[in-house]
Amino acid sequence: MRIDVVTLFPDMIRECCGYGIPRIALEKGLLELGTWNPRDYADNRHRSVDDRPYGGGPGMVMQVQPVADAIAAARTQGAGPVIYLSPQGKRLDQNAVRRFAELPHMILLAGRYEGIDERLIGRQVDEEWSIGDYVLSGGEPAALVWIDALARLLPGALGDEESAQQDSFMDGLLDYPHYTRPDVVDGQAVPDVLLGGNHADIERWRMKQSLGRTWQRRPDLLERIELNKEQQALLAEYIREWQSTQAN
Ligand code: ADE
């Protein structure tokens, strides 16, 4: 996969991709990264890329020309969609990440200031996506969220091929709890079942914890999926056990 990022802070993108899974994906050639700075395409002497908003109000708006030319340069690298990162976009979730991870190429457009001139968005942007209902001072952290979430899904990027399959949201549920040595911490022991070595029991326990946590913390997620018979029974068991601890 190739990701081109149009950004006023290319160093921020490149630097942050020097760690963890994005770094490994880059080193293995699973991921290619390009950055394109609108400032390099500004056609004025001061290399300015923004101006005051028509109609007044606070802040500055990024101008069409430098951004359009930076996007045009990024387009020479592939035919993928131009994705504008903004709080007005569709909200990113793991299903969307999984779909985007299938693409060979995309261009992420990170805005700064109050935003980008709407005419640029209308003409050049294919999709608008948000990483959550809060406002960042720029699209760069959002671009990094995209790159990280995508990189870990690229086949071969994670050492253990299974771990992306098993984590939160892959089946629409939250993750189960994890434990490692030592087996007792401040008097608190690891659940017995995890020490027993019975893999079917462990799978069942983990599924039950995933279901129970999702039920307690994110009931909205449960409404979106259909549980099979075994999952329904495990969740019922979890709820019964939880209720018995609440009884008095
Ligand atoms: N830019 C500013 N805020 C953002 C958000 N919540 N998601 C994506 N891009 C953004």
Instruction: Say how many domains are in the chain.
Output: 2
Provide mean pLDDT across the span 54-70: 97
Residue type, 158: L
Question: Are both 113 and 227 inside the same structural domain?
Answer: no
State residue 204's pLDDT score: 98
Asked which of 87, 116, 151 is the last residue of a domain, the reply is 151
Strands (E), the chain: 2-6, 32-36, 50-51, 61-62, 82-91, 105-110, 115-116, 127-130, 184-185, 188-189
236 is a domain residue = yes
Statement to judge: residues 79 and 7 lie in one domain: yes
Looking at ligand 1, which residue's alpha carbon is closest to its atom 10?
86
Q: What are phi and psi of 16, to 5 degrees?
A: -70, -20
Same domain, 92 and 8: yes
- What is the Å distance from ligand 1's center to 97 Cα? 16
Q: Which domain holds residue 213?
A: 168-247
Is 241 among the domain residues? yes
Alpha carbon nearest to ligand 1 atom 6, residue: 87
Q: Quick check: 150 and 97 in contact, CB under 8 A?
A: yes
Of the chain, the percentage scoring pLDDT greater than 90 comes to: 92
Segment 154-162 mean pLDDT: 82
163 within a domain of the structure (yes/no)? no
pLDDT of residue 57: 95
Last residue of a domain, one of 102, 120, 151: 151
20's enclosing H/E stretch is helix 20-27
Q: Which residues line ligand 1 (CB under 6 A)?
A: 85-87, 130-132, 134-136, 139, 142
- The predicted pLDDT at position 134 comes to 97
- Residue 143 counted as domain residue: yes
Residue 103: CATH number of its domain: 3.40.1280.10
Task: Please state, rounded to an integer, the average pLDDT across all residues of the chain.
Answer: 96
Q: Are residues 240 and 133 part of one domain? A: no
Task: Note whether 125 and 219 are same-domain residues.
Answer: no
Q: What pLDDT digit, counting tens, does each position of 110-139 carry?
A: 998 899 999 999 999 999 999 999 999 999
Furthest-apart CA pair in the chain: how many Å? 74
Check which CATH number belongs to the domain holding 237 and give it.
1.10.1270.20
Cβ-based neighbour number of residue 38 at 10 Å? 26
21 and 142 belong to one structural domain = yes
Q: Whose CA is nearest to atom 5 of ligand 1?
A: 87
- 141 and 28 share one domain: yes
Do 115 and 193 share a domain, yes or no? Answer: no
Active-site residues, by number, are 87, 114, 152, 167
- 102 and 183 in a single domain? The answer is no
Pair (58, 117) in one structural domain: yes
| Residue at 160 is within a domain | no
Q: Is residue 159 part of a domain?
A: no
Q: Which tens digits make up the pLDDT trace of 20-61?
A: 999 999 999 999 999 999 999 999 999 999 999 999 999 999
**Which pair of structure tokens corresponds to residue 151?**
């990189």
Residues 107 and 30 in one domain: yes
Indicate whether this model's pTM tops 0.85.
yes
Same domain for 86 and 43: yes
Structure tokens at 221: 């997620």
Q: Which residues pair with 130 in a beta bridge?
A: 91
